[in-house]
Structure 1
Amino acid sequence: MLFGIEWDTSDNLTFAISILPILLRGLVVTIQATILGFFVAMVLGLILAALKAVPSRVVSWPARIISEFLRDTPLLIQLFFLYYVLPEFGLVLPAFMTGALALGLQYSAYLSEVYRAGIEAVPRGQHEAARALDLTGRDTFARIVVPQAIPRIIPAMGNYLVSIMKDVPVLSVVTVLEMLSVARIIGDRTFNYLVPLTMVGAIYLILTLLAAYGVRRLDRALPKTGIPMK
C-alpha cells in the first residue's frame, strides 16, 4: 500500500488499474516540473542570448562563460550543488523548486543558442530600419527582433521541451516523487517492475507525441514574417 492505495498483483491488468491513480499523481509532478523548468529556461535563455549579443566584451564574455559552464557540466552536478551547497549559504529551497531550477539553468544555456540562431536569422535590414525610426536598442530587440525570431525557433524549442520532460526523473535523487520514481517504489514493494515501468514508458510516449503535435500546430499557426506587436 502507498498513499492509501492497495494493489492486487495476481493479475497484470488488475494491478495496472490499481496503480494508475498513484502514477497519475507522479505524472502531475512530472508535468509541473517540466513546465516550470521550461519557463525558467526560456527566460534565462533569452537573457543570456541578449547579453551575448551585446558588442561590449565586458558584458558578452561573462554571459558566454556562464552559458558554456551550464552546458558543459552535468545536470546531476548542478542539481546536487543547488540542493546541498546553497543551504550552506543560507538559501534553502524545496526539493521540487530546486529540481525545476536546475532543469531551467541547464537548458537555458541550450535555449540561449537557439535564441541566438533565431536572432541572427533576422535580416540586417530590420535593424537598419529600426535605427532609421530612431528606436532604442532595447526597443529594437524587444519589438522588432524577438517577434521575428520566435517563429524560426519554435521547432528547436519544442525539442528542448521534450528533453526537459525526459530529464525530470533525475529529480528523484533529491526526493522529488515524479512518475518514474513512483513506479520504482511500486516495483520495490511489489517485486513487479514490468507493469509500472511499462506504464510509465507508455505515458512518456504519449506525452512526447502530444508535445510534438502541439509544436507542429504552433509552428504552422505562427506567421513566418513574425508575431505582430502592438
Structure 2
Amino acid sequence: MLYAFVTVTLVVTIVGSAIAAVLGLLIALARRTAPKPIAAVLTFVMNFIRMTPLVVQLLFIYYAFASVPPLTIGIIVFGVHYATFMAEVYRAGIESVPNGQWEAATALSMSKQRTWVAVIIPQAVRATVPALGNYVISMFKETPFLAVITVIDMVAAAERYGGNHFRYIEVITLAGVLFLIASYPTSLLIGRLEKRLAQSY
C-alpha cells in the first residue's frame, strides 16, 4: 500500500497538479487574449471536458491509446481534466483585479506582456490559491479512479490485500487514514501560503 501510495497516488497528484496549474493558466490567458472564434472553440472544448465524467475520459483515452502506459494516461487525463476547472478559477482571479491596475500599467507605458507578468497574474494567483489548493486535494482523493485503467493505486492495493487475506475493513480504513494524513497538512500549507501571499501585497 505504501509503495502504491508513493509511486502512483502521489506521483499522479503532484505531476497532474503541475500540469493542471500551468495548462489552466494558459487556457485562461488564451480565452482572454485570443480572437473570439478561437476563444469560443477553446471554451467549448473546456466545457465539454468539465462536463464529462473523469472515469469516462480515463477509459476513452486508455482504449484509444492502448500503446501508452496506463500511468502516463492517468497523469495526462487528470492534469487536463483539472486544468479546465483551474482555468475557470484563474479567469475569476483575473477578473477580480481592479481596472485601476490595468490603467496604472497603461499610464506607466508597460507592455501587455509586462502588465500580465508583473501586475495581473501575481494578483490573480494570490486570489485563487485557496480554490486551486482545493482542486489539488480533490485530485488526490480521486486517484482511486485509476483502477479502471488497471493502475494499482493505494486503494486498489488495499482492496487486493483485503481479497487475499479476507481483511477488507482494516486495510480500507488504513487507506482512508493515509488519505487524511496526507490531505490535512496540505490544507494547512495552502492556508499558510494564502496568508503569506496576502501579506506580500
TM bin (shorter chain): over 0.9
3-state SS of the aligned residue for 2:142? Answer: helix
- Equivalent in 14, 17, 26 of residue 4 of structure 2: 26
Structure 1 residue 221 displacement after superposition = 1.2
User: Separation in 1 of the partners of 2:174 and 2:132?
Assistant: 27
> Is 1:196 paired with 2:174?
no
User: Separation in 2 of the partners of 1:55 and 1:180?
Assistant: 42
Mapping 1:1-230, distance limit 5 Å: 23-28=1-6, 29-54=8-33, 56-87=35-66, 92-223=67-198, 226=201
Among all aligned residue pairs of Structure 1 and Structure 2, give the percentage whose two residues are the same amino acid. Answer: 36
Q: Gapped runs of 5+ residues in structure 1?
A: 1-22
User: Separation in 2 of the partners of 1:134 and 1:41?
Assistant: 33
Structure 1 residue 225 displacement after superposition = 6.1
TM-score, scaled to structure 2: 0.94
Which residue identity lines up with residue 27 of structure 1 in the other structure? F
Say how many residue pairs are matched: 200
Runs of 4+, deviation exceeding 3 Å: 223-226
- What whole-Å deviation, never above 9, does each CA across 1:181-209 have from its counterpart, x for those lacking one? 00010011111101100100111111121
Structure 1 residue 177 displacement after superposition = 1.6
Structure 1 residue 117 displacement after superposition = 0.8
User: Separation in 1 of the partners of 2:199 and 2:56?
Assistant: 39
From the CA coordinates, give the structure whose radius of gyration is larger.
Answer: 1
Shift of the 59–142 alpha-carbon distance from structure 1 to 2, 3 Å rule, reads farther
Shift of the 103–27 alpha-carbon distance from structure 1 to 2, 3 Å rule, reads same
- What whole-Å deviation, never above 9, does each CA across 1:135-173 have from its counterpart, x for those lacking one? 332322222110111111111111101100011110111
3-state SS of the aligned residue for 1:223? Answer: helix
Q: Is the 8 A contact 1:41 1:104 kept in 2?
A: yes
Q: Gapped runs of 5+ residues in structure 2?
A: none
Shift of the 62–138 alpha-carbon distance from structure 1 to 2, 3 Å rule, reads farther
Q: Is the 8 A contact 1:152 1:224 kept in 2?
A: no
User: Separation in 2 of the partners of 1:102 and 1:172?
Assistant: 14
TM-score, scaled to structure 1: 0.83
User: Separation in 1 of the partners of 2:78 and 2:111?
Assistant: 33
